[in-house]
């Protein structure tokens, strides 16, 4: 008796007969030959089995009461089942056999049957099934390979071209149209000079006539190419230019004889690097401006304030610093989302600028806080006029996307020199005066006075409650899923702290983290979050939820501590979590604070296997030259840029610049704050492979995250949103 191969042994077989003794006998026979099979007593049971399961071969009796074998054959043909049906029947009449084969039966075995004949027929059917499966797989692989090659050439992000020996185009891929606006038909047969900017024609002569190959061939040379799109600025119609990075090599009829006679032309690629060229300008702008509102940031305000104080001191003049905090902004942000909140901040910034005099400086200090420098003021009355004008303008409703929004402002004012003789003291005292307005009902202004130092106890109370909360275990870690767009699966989480206050309930981090950083309590909070997160993620991995990655935030205070690397290593070791699954997120400002201390520590952490990400990228002061010095793996696109993506806009230039930088530096990209499908689609089109945001899930407690991990995908969110397959 021959034993089947392992492949046949694993086949799915269904035995069908209406007589139990015959069914049992058939099952014993099949089992004796080393096969496993399901049994169906009668046609109705067989029909249910075929509806609920998949089989390779069915051994089917024809003559059965109720649902007959012919009915089963008709059902299999109608539903296009791929199983092979071998009829085992006593009806061996010509018409019966003919009808069975006509209805799709693979073969016919007459009862009573020879065991060897039946098994041989069944194995023949099984082999036929395997051949068909292999054929189908092969066809699929061939089709996939063909589509892949077509995709590589015609959907490449680079322009691919070929020139003949005279410099005329013989091939262009589809990228030519999206990159430069020309169709292939317009350029095939034309000289390369049709595409080159006049100022780069000399350099182009060497590039497009490249005859070298291998390592000596031209690589990554920058050149400007013409675009068919017209630039109509300043009333002049002229071709736009696109900065491109060109790679070229010679093509020879016989690759072994690279002679002048064998030279056939040039092959090359051109990559659009316009965004990269703009990137440095963008980062320089970021150094002194807030990218959401385009207002000066703290660094620029500090420079202007110190300069104004020097001028006022020399000329014995007065100046004023205003600290402005929006009222009811948190309500808008929490109820309508961060995107709406960001758009409201822009509208507020525009309205505030309309209240300024020439020479005044409006700055976004952070969040919903603004500062205003008023040089050259004579009396308090001058400042009062501006403060009341601001309040009046802000009390008018803002209409955004059909929503009528109302915000007021609490304004603190510090006058030089009576309220301080330095920029730092003026801002600090204006901040104290602003909190005094908050305490008495908001939507007003207040000049700083020395008595306020005694009245201002809000922050002291908060600090005391922070310390008690840490002692009493009121802090907890919530997790926001990080989702791979290619699959919709959760491949990581970001650990975020929450404060469950005894009387105020759950407090968001923006309400206590600034004070925690100010008082140094952030060190205890950071270590608690990291230790808890390491423990939780290690436990989830052991529970079989996959290789979940963990992102944890790292503050400057913690990173600058002596022994940071040792404590970090000890926490990981105690939790049992492999460092390769840990990503430390650091803001740009943290990176730039003390590079001599920070860089060696980051390198030590990278040596352990952990990864480094730049959080809120694009909102700080980093530059391309500095980024090269840090051992970073990932850029995290800030939610403020993601919020700028809207269907009617169709473009988000800052994100494009960041994507270009990430590609140039070979860094991973993660986008946060994704709230709708428009943003999701745009980010995916730009090559962002991992996102997090409210469209998938807010930050949730560990117990709720476990429920998400059990499903480990968001098919509802990605429905109708094609994932990008990576080769």
* pLDDT value at residue 321: 95
* pLDDT value at residue 527: 92
* 8-state DSSP, 217: S
* pLDDT value at residue 256: 79
CA angle 324, 329, 330 (to 5 degrees): 120
**Average pLDDT value for residue range 592-603:** 78
* pLDDT value at residue 373: 95
* pLDDT value at residue 572: 93
Residue 727 has pLDDT above 60, yes or no: no
* pLDDT value at residue 313: 93
237 confidence band (pLDDT: 50, 70, 90): very low
* pLDDT value at residue 233: 47
Residue 293 has pLDDT above 80, yes or no: yes
Q: What percent of the chain has pLDDT over 70?
A: 91
* pLDDT value at residue 148: 79
**Residue 366 to residue 360: CA distance in whole angstroms:** 19
* pLDDT value at residue 234: 40
34 confidence band (pLDDT: 50, 70, 90): confident
Q: Tell me the pLDDT tens digit for each residue of 376-424.
A: 898 999 999 999 999 999 999 999 988 889 888 999 999 999 998 899 9
Q: Tell me the pLDDT tens digit for each residue of 523-563.
A: 999 999 999 999 999 999 999 988 899 999 988 888 888 88
* pLDDT value at residue 549: 93
457 confidence band (pLDDT: 50, 70, 90): low
Nearest residue to 58 (alpha-carbon basis) of 72, 68, 74, 48: 72
Question: Quick check: 558 and 523 in contact, CB under 8 A?
Answer: yes
Q: What percent of the chain has pLDDT over 90?
A: 39
Residue 202 has pLDDT above 70, yes or no: yes
**Average pLDDT value for residue range 337-342:** 88
**Average pLDDT value for residue range 621-646:** 76
- Rounded to the nearest integer, the mean pLDDT of the chain is 85
**Average pLDDT value for residue range 278-284:** 76
Q: Tell me the pLDDT tens digit for each residue of 37-70.
A: 999 999 899 999 999 999 999 999 888 898 888 8
CATH class of 461-712: alpha beta
724 confidence band (pLDDT: 50, 70, 90): very low
Nearest residue to 444 (alpha-carbon basis) of 436, 453, 455: 436
Domain residue ranges in the chain: 6-141, 159-230+239-272, 288-456, 461-712
Domain 6-141 has CATH 3.40.50.2300: yes
Residue 592 has pLDDT above 90, yes or no: no
**Average pLDDT value for residue range 616-645:** 75
Beta-strand (E) ranges in 561-715? Answer: 582-587, 611-617, 634-637, 668-671, 690-691, 700-701
Report the CATH architecture of 288-456: 2-Layer Sandwich (3.30)
Nearest residue to 340 (alpha-carbon basis) of 410, 399, 409: 399
Q: Tell me the pLDDT tens digit for each residue of 87-146.
A: 988 776 767 777 778 778 888 888 888 888 888 989 898 998 889 888 888 888 888 887
- Who contacts 412 (Cβ-Cβ below 8 Å, separation ≥6)? 322, 323, 324, 429, 430, 431, 432, 433, 434, 435, 436, 437, 445, 446, 448
Domain 159-230+239-272 has CATH 3.30.365.10: no
* pLDDT value at residue 534: 95
**Average pLDDT value for residue range 589-593:** 70
Nearest residue to 581 (alpha-carbon basis) of 556, 617, 550: 550
159-230+239-272 and 288-456: identical CATH topology: no
* pLDDT value at residue 310: 94
**Average pLDDT value for residue range 362-377:** 92
Query: Who wins on pLDDT, 703 or 654?
Result: 703
**Average pLDDT value for residue range 152-170:** 88
Query: Who wins on pLDDT, 258 or 372?
Result: 372
**Residue 328 to residue 324: CA distance in whole angstroms:** 13
Beta-strand (E) ranges in 471-625? Answer: 475-484, 490-501, 505-507, 549-553, 582-587, 611-617
Residue 614 has pLDDT above 90, yes or no: no
E strand or H helix that includes residue 229: strand 218-231
**Residue 606 to residue 490: CA distance in whole angstroms:** 24
**Average pLDDT value for residue range 154-159:** 83
* pLDDT value at residue 487: 83
């Amino acid at each position: 008796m021959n034993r089947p191969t392992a492949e046949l042994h694993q086949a799915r077989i269904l035995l069908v007969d209406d007589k139990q003794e015959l069914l049992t006998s058939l099952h014993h026979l099949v089992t004796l030959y080393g096969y496993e099979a399901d049994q169906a007593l009668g046609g109705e049971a067989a029909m249910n089995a075929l509806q609920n399961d998949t089989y390779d071969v069915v051994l089917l009796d024809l003559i059965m009461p109720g649902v007959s074998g012919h009915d089963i054959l008709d059902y299999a043909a109608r539903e296009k089942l791929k199983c092979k049906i071998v009829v085992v029947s006593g009806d061996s009449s010509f018409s019966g056999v003919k009808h069975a084969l006509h209805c799709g039966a693979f073969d016919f075995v007459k009862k009573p049957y020879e065991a060897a004949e039946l098994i041989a027929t069944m194995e023949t059917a099984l082999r036929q099934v395997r051949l068909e499966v292999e054929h189908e797989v092969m066809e699929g692989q061939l089709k996939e390979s063909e589509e892949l090659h077509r995709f590589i050439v015609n959907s490449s992000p680079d322009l691919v071209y070929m020139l003949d020996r005279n410099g005329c185009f013989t091939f262009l891929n589809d990228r030519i149209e999206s990159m430069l606006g020309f169709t292939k038909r317009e350029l095939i047969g034309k000289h390369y000079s049709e595409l080159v900017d006049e100022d780069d024609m000399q350099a182009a002569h060497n590039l497009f006539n490249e005859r070298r190959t291998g390592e000596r061939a031209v690589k990554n040379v920058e050149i400007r190419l013409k675009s068919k799109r017209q630039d109509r600025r300043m009333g002049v119609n002229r071709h736009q230019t696109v900065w491109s990075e060109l790679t070229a090599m010679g093509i020879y009829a016989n690759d072994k004889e690279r002679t002048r006679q064998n030279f056939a032309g040039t092959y090359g690629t051109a990559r659009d690097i316009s965004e990269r060229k703009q990137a440095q300008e963008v980062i320089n702008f970021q150094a002194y401006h807030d990218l959401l509102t385009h207002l000066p940031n703290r660094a620029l305000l500090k420079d202007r304030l110190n300069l104004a104080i020097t001028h006022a001191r020399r000329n014995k003049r007065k100046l004023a610093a205003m600290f402005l905090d929006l009222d009811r902004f948190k309500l808008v942000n929490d109820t309508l989302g961060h995107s709406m909140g960001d758009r409201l901040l822009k509208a507020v910034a525009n309205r505030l600028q309309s209240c300024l005099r020439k020479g005044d400086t409006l700055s976004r200090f952070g969040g919903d806080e603004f500062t205003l420098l008023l040089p050259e003021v004579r009396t308090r009355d001058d400042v009062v006029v501006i403060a009341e004008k601001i309040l009046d303008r802000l009390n008018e409703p803002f209409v955004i996307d059909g929503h009528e929004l109302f915000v007021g402002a609490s304004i603190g004012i510090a006058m030089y020199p009576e309220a301080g003789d330095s920029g730092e003291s003026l801002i600090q005292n204006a901040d104290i005066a602003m909190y005094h307005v908050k305490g008495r009902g908001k939507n007003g202004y207040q000049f700083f006075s020395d008595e306020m130092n005694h009245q201002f106890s809000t922050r002291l109370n908060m600090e005391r409650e922070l310390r008690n909360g840490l002692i009493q275990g009121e802090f907890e870690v919530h997790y926001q899923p990080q989702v791979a767009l290619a699959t919709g699966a959760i491949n990581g989480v970001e650990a975020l702290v929450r404060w469950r206050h005894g009387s105020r309930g759950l407090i968001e981090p923006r309400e206590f983290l600034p004070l925690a950083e100010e008082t140094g309590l952030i060190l205890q909070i950071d270590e608690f979050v990291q230790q808890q997160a390491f423990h939780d993620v290690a436990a989830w991995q052991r529970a079989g939820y996959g290789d979940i990655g963990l992102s944890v935030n790292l503050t400057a205070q913690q990173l600058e501590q002596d022994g940071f690397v040792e404590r970090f290593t000890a926490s990981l070791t105690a939790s049992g979590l492999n460092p390769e699954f840990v990503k430390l997120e650091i803001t740009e400002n943290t990176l730039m604070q003390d590079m001599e201390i920070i860089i060696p520590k980051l390198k030590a952490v990278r040596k352990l296997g952990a990864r480094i990400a730049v959080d809120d990228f694009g909102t700080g002061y980093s530059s391309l030259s500095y980024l090269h010095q840090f051992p970073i793996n990932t850029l995290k696109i800030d939610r403020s840029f993601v919020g700028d993506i809207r269907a009617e806009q169709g473009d988000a230039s800052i994100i494009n610049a960041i994507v270009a930088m990430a590609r140039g530096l070979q860094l991973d990209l993660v986008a946060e704050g994704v709230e709708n499908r428009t943003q999701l689609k745009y980010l995916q089109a730009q090559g962002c492979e991992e996102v997090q945001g409210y469209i998938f899930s807010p930050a949730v407690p560990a117990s709720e995250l476990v429920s998400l991990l059990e499903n480990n995908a968001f098919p509802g969110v990605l429905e109708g949103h094609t994932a990008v397959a990576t080769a």
